[in-house]
Amino acid sequence: GFFPGVVDKTNLLEKQYPDSAYLPSALILKGHSLIKMYRYQGAISTLLPLQKKFSQDLMELLMKKLLTN
């Protein structure tokens, strides 16, 4: 399915290219996908480090954008 594929591809990106400029966006999509799959603990584990790294306002904006699409 789509959401498991997003999680798998993001895991691959994270392992192969940990310094990729695309990784933060991919991790947000991974967190969103985990929410859609009802895997809330995984979503928290994915998104919480991003929240610490980036501003709260940016994270809220990105999540709002994802959840409305």
In order along its 69 residues, the chain shows pLDDT tens digits of 899 999 999 999 999 999 998 999 999 999 999 999 999 999 999 998 887 777 777 777 777 777 775
pTM of the full structure: 0.77
Asked if 51 contacts 59 with a C-beta cutoff of 8 angstroms, the reply is: yes
Token pair, residue 48, equals 């919480």
Residues 6+ apart with CB under 8 A from 43: 31, 32, 34, 35
**Token pair 């695309």 is at which residue?**
22
